[in-house]
Structure 1
């Protein structure tokens, strides 16, 4: 076991230089495995596949065999860079300029992964082996379909008899400054594909046709006429947003035979995927006609109520940054939606203002502060 303390900024730079665009591993997991094994971790590389989806490489690493087992979850896969010429530097250079660390994954979320590994190295150097276990669950499929990543690793852990007692996800949770926000839950997400079928005909003879566009517009108006709710204690109001309406009709004198729309629902703990689907079908059935509705549930809403774990994170953040973070459930989905079925989970990482953007970047000082926060959390967890 090494007693050397890793530099989180240097490790972030090295991770950024691995071109790990989903589902490519890009050398990022190889790099992490080498560093973790030097620290004494036992590493498992888990490659999962499924028909119609690409193979995905994942890493589970554990130090220690005793309970409790605190896990850090994250991902090394990143979204595509967009036009590299639009960047002020090579997207995979990890360039450090004027105190800012540039590169795809700098904020989402190679910086947090590096900060946690550095925090573990600092913990081992200062406190020695933990009175329990420290583990990392790192996937290469968070930015993709999320089929062959965290969910399957968790299933594998259960099959092996591995137990997680608490999990901290390193997603970029802070909207403005490091210390703003901890996520203790997430809204659910559901996509719907609505197809309305009619009878094609001439616009001059509408009585001989059945215009599906008119019925589609009526259906969408019914779905969006009233708010789904006013929010709940820990969640903002649920929303239904129409994302596209498509007819594909180039003619001005033809009533089309089919019209389609897609929508997304972000919902709080007043609903479930099943209750929303039931409401959708009842609403559309009242309007009637020939239609088809396909539903895909990305994840149910969930909440890990405020308690000792969130308080430990919040106090560690406040001690380091001087800010008392808000406990929030805002934002999109994350892999925490899978982890919450296995243990208590919370999320805290870097500032997310530039994630997925051209010139993604994060202050190097924030990466260093985040490593210190994670170190404080580890000390507090095992005290």
Structure 2
């Protein structure tokens, strides 16, 4: 490549896609990352936790410290339906094909290409740049970003700001900038009654009736109307089971599962109290198990968000919508340590059969990421 030509993310993306890194397998993807980052001057550190391999790479020691976070693990391609080998990295008609092209090996490759161009123009940037690349984003998210952040904190590597490269654009590159995410929690309820014959209900205590009333208390009214940056909280009953095969038996236990996606007006603790109150109102004997995959978080608009919007404006001419929608991402872990936002390609084909990304879009994304680095470190 001639020195005056921009770095091309496509060969990097192809090399990553050709690594069968179905979560939690590393598949050689982190080796690809090390091979492109070390010649740029990065110090690379492998961080294995249990069966998950992760990578932390950094250039520079001074502040401000900008961190790019992403994942090389991918979801399984499935058994059938692909037009080509899902790990081929094939380019056809201006489109890159393969598992991870969209989510998010293409995005990581775009950042590396933009980073290479930035460093070529700024061989002595005023701060430092790191990459937190995990192999556990598509999996349980236990031994990936969360554990790497703990290591970073213990070793004085926490950044001043972080950008997660998830494919967050909606229809055009740079049309959306995620500055927060809703929290997500699941409650599993086992409500106990007294088993009996359905012809003699006075001798039994039907847990189904009590559980239905509990669920009605939880779903009858909206939890809120939304907040300044978040849409309304949603509570959905996602499971109901009594395991009863006999039509004339009142069961002893009824079970339900509830999933709540909540905004910044709530916490998992306050919502747990709400469920406990609904159970108490029915004088229910129940076991309640709650798991929270992440609390809601928000990076308030300010210097960091303004800088990202400026970069988007320079690269695309668009005004990015500030958004907090969607599911969860690893940004929920990073938000505990520093301001974080999410900016990446259009997520039209993520997790789909024949996952793909336009070549031109990935090259434009590399330009956008170069502008992001210029905004904060140029």
- Shorter-chain TM range is over 0.9
Question: 1-side partners of 2:351 and 2:248: how far apart?
Answer: 43
In structure 2, the gaps of 5 or more residues are none
Question: What is the aligned partner in structure 2 of residue 28 from structure 1?
Answer: 29
Q: Say whether residues 1:9 and 2:4 are aligned partners.
A: no
Question: 1-side partners of 2:89 and 2:313: how far apart?
Answer: 29
Question: 2-side partners of 1:289 and 1:232: how far apart?
Answer: 33
Secondary structure of the corresponding residue to residue 310 of structure 1: helix
User: 54, 57, 63: which is aligned to 2:53?
Assistant: 57
Question: What TM-score do the two structures reach when normalised by structure 1?
Answer: 0.95
1:263-307 superposed Cα distances (whole Å, 9 cap, x missing partner): 111111111111111111112111122211100111111111111
User: 174, 187, 197: which is aligned to 2:169?
Assistant: 174
After superposing on structure 2, the runs of 4+ consecutive aligned residues of structure 1 that deviate more than 4 Å are 2-5
Question: 1-side partners of 2:220 and 2:207: how far apart?
Answer: 20
1:312-357 superposed Cα distances (whole Å, 9 cap, x missing partner): 2122222222221101111111111111121111100111122111
Q: Say whether residues 1:317 and 2:312 are aligned partners.
A: yes
Q: Say whether residues 1:43 and 2:38 are aligned partners.
A: no
User: Bigger CA drift: 71-80 or 194-203?
Assistant: 194-203
**1:199-278 matched pairs, under 5 angstroms:** 199-278=194-273
Say whether the 8 Å CA contact 1:5–1:125 is kept in structure 2: no
Say whether the 8 Å CA contact 1:112–1:349 is kept in structure 2: yes
**1:73-84 matched pairs, under 5 angstroms:** 73-83=69-79
Shift of 1:5: 5.5
Shift of 1:250: 2.0
Question: 1-side partners of 2:283 and 2:84: how far apart?
Answer: 55
Say whether the 8 Å CA contact 1:182–1:347 is kept in structure 2: yes
Question: 2-side partners of 1:89 and 1:217: how far apart?
Answer: 48
Question: What is the aligned partner in structure 2 of residue 102 from structure 1?
Answer: 97
User: 332, 339, 343: which is aligned to 2:334?
Assistant: 339
Secondary structure of the corresponding residue to residue 52 of structure 2: strand
RMSD: 1.5
Question: 2-side partners of 1:134 and 1:43: how far apart?
Answer: 12
User: Bigger CA drift: 134-143 or 154-163?
Assistant: 154-163
Secondary structure of the corresponding residue to residue 24 of structure 2: coil
Question: What is the aligned partner in structure 2 of residue 52 from structure 1?
Answer: none
Question: 2-side partners of 1:317 and 1:354: how far apart?
Answer: 22
User: 179, 187, 194: which is aligned to 2:189?
Assistant: 194
Question: 1-side partners of 2:170 and 2:194: how far apart?
Answer: 49
Question: What is the aligned partner in structure 1 of residue 321 from structure 2?
Answer: 326
Question: What is the aligned partner in structure 2 of residue 71 from structure 1?
Answer: 67
Number of aligned positions between the proteins: 376
